[in-house]
Structure 1
Amino acid sequence: MSPLKKIPFIFSDNRWVVPNRELEGIRLTSLFDISLDDFSSYEHDQVIDQSAYGAHILLDMQKEVLEQEDYQLLSMREALAVLSFEEFQHLAKAWQYAIFLRTHRYCGQCGDAMQKVQWEMAMHCYTCGHRSYPRVSPCIIVSIRKDDKILLAQGVRHQRAGFFSTLAGFVESGESLEQAVHREVKEEVGIEVKNIEYFGSQAWPFPHSIMVGYLADYAGGDLVLDKKEILSADWFDIDALPKIPPKLSIAGLLIEETLKRIQQLE
């Protein structure tokens, strides 16, 4: 059996290193064109994963900026726009591992240096026995329908991009995902929801989240916005939508599904 090809995931200054070519042509198979000899001065981590593409190798240059004409740097959001869903999942995993290894060099319990565990993705402190694993922060994201309209909001962090999207927020300790949906909706726009239905999930490496998507129906209340989080929100007719996220994100997919369901009512 021939050995798996090495597919290097290289990060420089918080961006992804890829061969210098048109963005539309960037795929994970493009990484086969990367010569690890070009990065021989950097330490390559062990195989972090395996897939149909090959053996995934992690190389994190951290804050050092790459200066090679044969390569270019993409932000994670730029990568999201050009990769398939499956390909982006592999990139997201590599990036989240890089973040984990950066932030767990020292033990959070006793302060001593931690060592990389060889048989799993973990860091271990041999002084006190504390072991850490990559952090994954669950977030809920929900699309809400009221008769033939959809609720869309512009968050403070989306002001520059100018688009309206679904509501989202982190799950708090001690609550279920569904409880988080009710709480976040109530906190951000002041209304109640019902008929909460699981839709799907998406790894969201900004920097280490998992977005858990739901569909819901309006149950009552008036829109009262949390101005620290939400700049504007309203019920929109499907034929008069503001600028919304692309379908490559789970927000875009949730909006698309809600619009389909509204159309089925007509």
Structure 2
Amino acid sequence: MIQDIFPHVFHNEFHERSSLPGDLVTVLAGGKTYLTPSGTFPTAAEVKALGVEEGDLVYLFEIDQTAFFLLRTIPDAVKAALAERGTGVFRNMKPTYLALAGATALHLSAWYRSNRFCGCCGGAMERDKVERAMRCPSCGQIVYPRINPAVLAAVRHRDKLLLTHYANRPNATRYALVAGFTEIGETLEDTVRREVMEEVHLPIKNIRYHGSQPWGFAGNIMVGFWADLDSEDETVILDRSELDEGVWLSREEIPVEENPASLTHTMIQLFRQGKDPQ
């Protein structure tokens, strides 16, 4: 999965530091990223040669001894020197630790962008110097990075897995699991039951935790569960506002996918291989 970067180590401990020439810079704007012609992040030395000042670089995190920074404002010279790509390019970026870096930078970039002003008094927010937070100097309001909990439900019946396809998402070409965000007052298990009932109208039982995954593309923490159908009736009634297909597939019918980046497709492949918990 995207977070599996061993032997590299992700360091998200916050501290202020200046960039070194070989540190990497994420350039993000309007759903786009700007990469070097070779398809990777530019170095601090490269963007500074294009007119970027140290004060324009916001420290994000480190992987091994390399720090990653966010370019706060993007000069035209930087855009001209780099290649514009959609942020989906991060999903398959190699080495894998760069995919994690891109997705996490995207998460933090969106958070910084949406918290420029205080939600309590409207004053301009400032980056805190001690922790990863935005602080209002006028009223003292502190805002930490928002992480949205969402569940994945791998629902099984005998030797079949329930797979779905999203409605109104033209770029979603593969099957997925039932998924949804946790609401106020819910446990994660309650979310699994509710989402399965809402999206495919099926009762479930034996809900078991599988694992979790940071998913910076949507600012999520994805939490995966296995569950079994609590009925002999496999009839799927779709919520057409969310899904346009829901099918039961046997292990043999599920397409092979090598090294899936997402928890969704990792769980689907585990089922295909017969490695799901019994």
TM-score, with length taken from structure 1: 0.84
Shift of 1:32: 6.9
**Contact (CA 8 Å) 2:92, 2:99: kept in 1 or not?**
no
Map 1:139-218 onto structure 2 (within 5 A). 139-218=150-229
The residue number in structure 2 matching 1:228 is 241
Matched, 1:8 2:25: yes
**Contact (CA 8 Å) 1:42, 1:61: kept in 2 or not?**
no
> Separation in 2 of the partners of 1:212 and 1:59?
31
> Separation in 2 of the partners of 1:15 and 1:61?
14
Matched, 1:58 2:75: no
Find 2:253's aligned residue among 240, 246, 261: 240
> Separation in 2 of the partners of 1:65 and 1:183?
50
Q: Give the match's secondary structure for 2:121.
A: coil
Identity %: 26
TM-score, with length taken from structure 2: 0.80
What amino acid does structure 2 have at the position aligned with 1:14? G
Shift of 1:33: 7.5
Map 1:89-128 onto structure 2 (within 5 A). 89-128=100-139
Shift of 1:168: 0.6
> Separation in 1 of the partners of 2:275 and 2:23?
47
Matched, 1:73 2:73: no
> Separation in 1 of the partners of 2:23 and 2:69?
7
> Separation in 1 of the partners of 2:185 and 2:270?
30
**Contact (CA 8 Å) 2:91, 2:99: kept in 1 or not?**
yes
> Separation in 1 of the partners of 2:51 and 2:157?
54
Q: Give the match's secondary structure for 1:99.
A: helix
Q: Give the match's secondary structure for 1:143.
A: strand
Moved more, 157-166 or 75-84: 157-166
Question: Cα–Cα, structure 1 residues 54 and 237, in superposed 2: closer, same or farther, change >3 Å?
Answer: same
**Contact (CA 8 Å) 1:141, 1:213: kept in 2 or not?**
yes
What amino acid does structure 2 have at the position aligned with 1:101? Y
Number of aligned positions between the proteins:
257
Moved more, 42-51 or 211-220: 42-51
> Separation in 2 of the partners of 1:132 and 1:236?
44
Q: Give the match's secondary structure for 2:79.
A: coil
Q: Give the match's secondary structure for 1:178.
A: helix
Shift of 1:233: 0.6
Shift of 1:218: 1.6
Structure 1 unaligned regions, length at least 5:
none
> Separation in 2 of the partners of 1:225 and 1:211?
22
Question: Cα–Cα, structure 1 residues 128 and 185, in superposed 2: closer, same or farther, change >3 Å?
Answer: same
Q: Give the match's secondary structure for 2:103.
A: helix
**Contact (CA 8 Å) 1:145, 1:151: kept in 2 or not?**
yes
Moved more, 78-87 or 55-64: 55-64
> Separation in 2 of the partners of 1:81 and 1:68?
24
> Separation in 2 of the partners of 1:175 and 1:133?
22
Question: Cα–Cα, structure 1 residues 262 and 208, in superposed 2: closer, same or farther, change >3 Å?
Answer: closer
> Separation in 2 of the partners of 1:245 and 1:180?
29
Question: Cα–Cα, structure 1 residues 236 and 65, in superposed 2: closer, same or farther, change >3 Å?
Answer: farther
The residue number in structure 2 matching 1:254 is 267
Question: Cα–Cα, structure 1 residues 6 and 41, in superposed 2: closer, same or farther, change >3 Å?
Answer: closer
**Contact (CA 8 Å) 1:8, 1:34: kept in 2 or not?**
no
Structure 2 unaligned regions, length at least 5:
1-18
4+ runs of 1 displaced by more than 4 Å?
30-33, 62-66, 242-246, 262-265
Instruction: Render the CA deviation track for 1:171-213: whole Å, top value 9, x for unaligned.
Output: 1111111111111001100112222222222222233112111
Matched, 1:19 2:30: no
> Separation in 2 of the partners of 1:183 and 1:62?
43
Question: Cα–Cα, structure 1 residues 83 and 158, in superposed 2: closer, same or farther, change >3 Å?
Answer: farther
